[in-house]
Structure 1
């Protein structure tokens, strides 16, 4: 029997191409361009699958799918959309759609997916969650981010362990938060722990808790992160830096589904989803014997790889405008980018990824003199960030102090003062050239540089990491 397809698409050129491809495979295709047309076709005939765009001539193709689900709960649905955001991907997933295709898409893959959907024994609907949080934290419509969104939607209705991979500053914790906020465990707590920041001798107590008297200083029973995350999600960041002994205990906990507090005898059943993340390449570490292979496969049930910002340059302008809007909500002056300024930002390498871009945009919001920010305002800050104009110890800052004074005066005149805000933003604007200069003068000796700056060596290391400064930035290139 010929399989019948209903295609709802308001772009006639796309509709023609899809129809031709499906008919070439032997499908019988009916086509319309509106919600009303879709409902008429569905009321008159039975179809094996529905392909629908989101933005139609008379309404939202997703919002009106409830009527289709009520009438035909097992009809497979494929959603097509040019509104390529995480919100759209999640909404598509919430309808129980068999698949979501952001435009532009691979036509051959679409045809294969139609065949798979029709051949599926059951394409049952998934109840849409209630109270889905608004203002999702991920921004970007590039093809690379579409792949991330699609992976996120695949893990929302289960508790599979997820391993998020990506360079520092790409937004791994934001992905973990999105999985939690949009998933089955959103009513529970989201507990994040940076495993690299916990001393090796304390990491087991931090994760599993301890009993009173288990060690010196254990004056009371304390719940670990696993217990604190009960009913919700435990996010283990920088998992690649976890000591080997702690890896062994973590593996045992994941395998058994139970933990035991340090110094305790009672076994506690785990009730949390595990999401881990790392900026390290774990496979060479496995080969070197510094990361357990069995733990890797236990964590990487569903790997999600976040692209560096240089591989999603199309998203830089949207991210910049997003951060400018956030800066206003945090008390900074309202700024807008000219097209030329936005284009200039999109051509930068952003070695520190989204984190570096965010910090730069906040500095720009504070230090730019006009609401409309043009190339002339962006270039000096970019040069400063790149270390093109390093500041000598006897130099004044490259920005005119009077200009900075004007910016601060404007901010204070327009906004209620927020303690520490001006200081933090101004400090961020001048830290990088200062650190580069001092490290250059000390030939990269961080201990000596920390002594000159009057800060702890570990503090210096952390700030260098936050600012995306590597040894290549301050060592001689002669």
Structure 2
């Protein structure tokens, strides 16, 4: 049994009742209120061992109250919950010193698990000291309220004010550089440079010079001293995109920087101290490259201190309407005419596979904004533009083993990043199986234009089994462009 007094604040009576009953069942005493003023009165009176509070309350914002709570009672942990599920909410909660941030609708088991840990005095994995308060920025660097993005936000919020190396993985177009910039722009290095370099875009023979700089005469054409990316990023963040394309020699030099905190320029002899946070990213299977001898295993573990996997757009389709509207606003800011988009058009967008992910969606929306003569983009315009795009079958697809490995690494990596070394809950097999089954069945139905008999034949399963899977996985029937 867990013991302690919980101060519960939420303006929703039903939520207060559900949480009060659940917390009481595990042995806690609960005092519940629907206002921040009452909550503050209890805090001032020395009551409670833990606060569980909603953010937006009728008489104020609970996050604005957190600094006062920390000053008055620095040892009183606060778990905040919010339906305003944006990256800024997670960042504000971390900066204000919240013990944990949980998006609504919440998982009751997760709430109870965090309550137990907080009362036991265990800090969440990766918790950093809160940063100094700053002006609230309502411009969102990353858009999405889906459960998949909530996991990303919570991990990001914990990493903002640390110098831990981060490995961002995900398919092309999922926004890896955007996340890397957010980690920098909202972290303690935000006043120093953010420098991005794409390993795949630099000739292999020039990568070492590009990263570490060079001395005059160190190679043909080196007529003067060259400043490398490490020197440019001193005190800030260096984002190494497509790290899997880094040559082996450069990997060895990078490993030395991470191990010893210093490097030498090409042709130089004097060691240079490095104060740079490394954020790396890749769409490749680095473990596969290690097995092939193309990537150093010791470097992988130095870079992969905290893995952060970005979900593909097909796993966060509920974010598509918000993304589409945001891209229309962005297009207007770039000088294109103001456009609206109909709900039916958004429905069409939400039924697509999006092999190019968020980048593909953004390009399509901007193209529609530029080419459409009407003020409102309707479903027919979207369908015509989608029909004109290249078939996704022409684009290179990851091997099944790589995709399955990414799914397993995602679920395990996400759990350990959030919960430390505790064993993950049962059900990994079913979660990974769903990760494979859902896109497989959805894309097959799309390819057969919703013909379930044909799709069952292609998949090699019974039609009744297919119908059952469609219901279980809640797969929409898409009657789009025929691919088979």
TM-score (norm 1): 0.79
* 2:73 alignment counterpart: 72
Alignment partners' CA distance in 1, 2:136 and 2:196: 21
* 2:157 alignment counterpart: 153
Shift, 1:329, TM fit:
0.4
Alpha carbons of 1:226 and 1:376: their partners in 2 closer, same or farther (altered >3 Å)?
same
2:204 aligns to what SS in structure 1?
coil
Which deviates more from structure 2 when the two are superposed, residues 126-135 or residues 160-169? 126-135
* 1:302 alignment counterpart: 306
Shift, 1:386, TM fit:
4.5
**1:277 aligned to 2:281?**
yes
RMSD: 1.9
Alpha carbons of 1:203 and 1:152: their partners in 2 closer, same or farther (altered >3 Å)?
same
> What does residue range 166-245 of structure 1 map to in structure 2 within 5 Å?
166-245=170-249
Q: 1:261 aligns with which of 257, 262, 265?
A: 265
Does the 8 Å CA contact 1:162/1:301 hold for their aligned counterparts? yes
Alpha carbons of 1:284 and 1:135: their partners in 2 closer, same or farther (altered >3 Å)?
same
Does the 8 Å CA contact 1:69/1:125 hold for their aligned counterparts? no
Shift, 1:44, TM fit:
3.3
Alignment partners' CA distance in 2, 1:353 and 1:76: 38
Alignment partners' CA distance in 1, 2:3 and 2:366: 59
Shift, 1:264, TM fit:
0.6
Alpha carbons of 1:115 and 1:387: their partners in 2 closer, same or farther (altered >3 Å)?
closer
* 2:25 alignment counterpart: 24
Does the 8 Å CA contact 2:234/2:274 hold for their aligned counterparts? yes
Larger Rg belongs to: 1
Shift, 1:253, TM fit:
1.7
Does the 8 Å CA contact 2:215/2:268 hold for their aligned counterparts? yes
Alignment partners' CA distance in 1, 2:173 and 2:45: 53
Alignment partners' CA distance in 2, 1:175 and 1:370: 34
For these two proteins, the number of residue pairs brought into alignment is: 391
> What does residue range 267-416 of structure 1 map to in structure 2 within 5 Å?
267-387=271-391
Alpha carbons of 1:69 and 1:125: their partners in 2 closer, same or farther (altered >3 Å)?
farther
Alignment partners' CA distance in 2, 1:182 and 1:74: 25
Alpha carbons of 1:354 and 1:124: their partners in 2 closer, same or farther (altered >3 Å)?
closer
- How big is each residue's C-alpha offset from its partner over 1:40-85, in whole Å with a ceiling of 9 and x where there is no partner? 2223342111111011122211122232222212210100011100
Does the 8 Å CA contact 1:73/1:124 hold for their aligned counterparts? no
* 1:58 alignment counterpart: 59
Alignment partners' CA distance in 2, 1:22 and 1:267: 57
Alignment partners' CA distance in 2, 1:156 and 1:124: 8
Alignment partners' CA distance in 2, 1:333 and 1:313: 26
Alignment partners' CA distance in 1, 2:381 and 2:4: 60
Does the 8 Å CA contact 2:66/2:98 hold for their aligned counterparts? no
Alignment partners' CA distance in 1, 2:165 and 2:116: 30
Shift, 1:387, TM fit:
4.9
* 2:87 alignment counterpart: 86
Does the 8 Å CA contact 1:212/1:220 hold for their aligned counterparts? yes
Does the 8 Å CA contact 1:210/1:263 hold for their aligned counterparts? yes
Shift, 1:130, TM fit:
2.7
Runs (5+) with no aligned partner, structure 1: 391-476
Shift, 1:37, TM fit:
1.8
Does the 8 Å CA contact 1:210/1:222 hold for their aligned counterparts? yes
Alignment partners' CA distance in 1, 2:87 and 2:119: 26
1:63 aligns to what SS in structure 2?
helix
TM-score (norm 2): 0.78
Does the 8 Å CA contact 1:234/1:272 hold for their aligned counterparts? yes
Alpha carbons of 1:125 and 1:206: their partners in 2 closer, same or farther (altered >3 Å)?
closer
Shift, 1:104, TM fit:
1.7
1:201 aligns to what SS in structure 2?
helix
